[in-house]
């Protein structure tokens, strides 16, 4: 018996060395160690031996089994490495082929327009200021000359978090926040791009939208400065031939106040559906900073004056790109977004 085991061991060693694939090796394993394999049968036959023989043969057979398992594992690794090397040798990589282009994202149309607006004003010497979107009633209304129960508050359908905290309804609160930081230094020359929130939702209103605010404070700032700056802006963003007009308006934080219209970008002023056949499109509110607001910000209205303006970025993007539904900006439809 022991002799038989020795013979099997030797032949197994040769057989394992001769296997050249993982399949072959596996077949060999089944033939020897499998349920009906040679070694398995040998071990089962032990019970026919007498106790003394059983001890010796059993030990040898078990050793053989363990050795075989080790050898098979080793060979398995050898073959795997060989196969990988062959694969690597045969694999031809053409490093001169052009790469596969990954999917690249792009900028959102509102980001593009915001950046364009920023660039225009930065080119005129403005810098950028920011403020919180969760704002106090004080900065959003009070310091802008809209005290509690002021009728002008009705125009801004406000999300109240509690009696004193709101989601800002416009970027104007950053006016007073900036003044507080700067006063009494001049000049102040900032724009404030940012998200604002109102309880509104239809084709031309969204509960979240984007504004750009502007504020200039210096000695002897006049309405002429306001007009010149905003005409320049309109021509830069809508083209040199755009015409501009101002209409008197009311905002509690400016005095006097105005709204600026541009000649309709669709019909060039002839009258069409977009401009409700008036030839004009309203694009922003503006005015001379109310002396009360200057005071809230820490400036002496006798010593300095200023102008301010605020515009909706979605509206400008809609006019510039000819988009008729504001909700498209927020639907995340790639077919829409890919066009910009």
> Could you say which DSSP state residue 205 is in?
B
CA distance 38 to 312: 85
> Could you say which DSSP state residue 186 is in?
S
Closer of 39 and 230 to ligand DAH (Cβ): 230
Closer of 194 and 310 to ligand DAH (Cβ): 310
Min CB(280)–ligand DAH separation in Å = 18
Tell me if 310 contacts ligand DAH by CB under 6 A: yes
Closer of 171 and 263 to ligand DAH (Cβ): 171
Tokens standing for residue 316: 């400008």
Min CB(172)–ligand DAH separation in Å = 4
Q: Tell me which residues in 236-265 interact with ligand DAH (CB under 6 A).
A: 251, 254
Distances (CA, A) of 73 to 23, 76, 79, 82: 13, 5, 10, 14
Min CB(270)–ligand DAH separation in Å = 28
User: Which range binds ligand DAH by CB under 6 A, 4-12, 46-54, 127-135, 308-316?
Assistant: 308-316
Q: Tell me which residues in 206-225 interact with ligand DAH (CB under 6 A).
A: 213
Q: Tell me which residues in 277-306 interact with ligand DAH (CB under 6 A).
A: 285-287
Min CB(300)–ligand DAH separation in Å = 20
- Determine if residue 277 is left, alpha or beta; phi over 0 gives left, psi from -120 to 50 gives alpha, anything else beta: left
Closer of 19 and 213 to ligand DAH (Cβ): 213
Min CB(237)–ligand DAH separation in Å = 17
From 308, 316, 317, 326, residue interacting with ligand DAH (rule: CB under 6 A):
308
Closer of 172 and 263 to ligand DAH (Cβ): 172
Which residue has tokens 């209409």? 247
Q: What are phi and psi of 172, to 5 degrees?
A: -60, -30
How many of the chain's residues bind ligand DAH (CB under 6 A)? 11
Distances (CA, A) of 214 to 172, 184, 226, 291: 8, 19, 10, 17
Closer of 113 and 308 to ligand DAH (Cβ): 308
Of all residues in the chain, what percent are helix, strand and coil, respectively (each to 5)? 45, 20, 35
Per DSSP, the residues of 212-247 read EEEEEEETT--HHHHHHHHHHHHHHHH-TT--EEEE
Distance of CA 77 to the CA centre of its chain: 47
Interaction site with ligand DAH (CB under 6 A): 170, 172, 213, 251, 254, 285-287, 308-310
């Amino acid at each position: 018996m022991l002799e038989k085991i020795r013979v099997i061991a030797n032949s197994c060693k040769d057989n394992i060395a001769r296997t050249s694939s993982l399949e072959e090796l596996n077949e060999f394993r089944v033939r020897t160690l499998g349920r009906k394999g040679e070694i398995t049968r040998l071990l089962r036959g032990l019970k026919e031996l007498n106790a003394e023989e059983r001890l010796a043969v059993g030990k040898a057979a078990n050793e053989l089994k363990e050795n075989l398992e080790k050898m098979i594992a080793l060979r398995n690794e050898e073959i795997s490495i060989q196969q990988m090397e062959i694969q690597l040798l045969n694999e031809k990589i053409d490093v001169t082929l052009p790469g596969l282009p990954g999917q690249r994202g792009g900028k959102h149309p509102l980001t593009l327009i915001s950046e364009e607006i920023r660039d225009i004003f930065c080119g005129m010497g403005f810098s950028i200021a920011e403020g919180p979107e969760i704002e106090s009633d004080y900065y959003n209304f009070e310091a802008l000359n809209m005290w509690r129960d002021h009728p002008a508050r009705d125009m801004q359908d406000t999300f109240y978090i509690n009696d004193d905290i709101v989601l800002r309804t416009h970027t104007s609160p950053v006016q007073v926040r900036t003044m507080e930081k700067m006063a009494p230094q001049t000049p102040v020359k900032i724009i404030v791009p940012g998200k604002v929130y109102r309880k509104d939702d239809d084709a031309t209103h969204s509960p979240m939208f984007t504004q750009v605010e502007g504020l200039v404070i210096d000695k002897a700032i006049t309405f002429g400065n306001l007009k010149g700056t905003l005409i320049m802006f309109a021509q830069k963003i809508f083209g040199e031939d755009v015409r501009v007009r101002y209409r008197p308006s009311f905002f509690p934080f400016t005095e006097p106040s105005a709204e600026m219209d541009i000649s309709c970008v669709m019909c060039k002023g002839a009258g069409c559906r977009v401009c409700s056949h008036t030839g004009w499109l309203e694009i922003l509110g503006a005015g001379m900073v109310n002396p009360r607001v200057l005071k809230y910000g820490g400036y002496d209205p006798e010593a300095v004056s200023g102008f301010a303006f605020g515009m909706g970025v979605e509206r400008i993007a809609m006019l510039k790109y000819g988009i008729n539904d504001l909700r498209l900006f927020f639907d995340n439809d790639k077919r829409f977004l890919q066009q910009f």
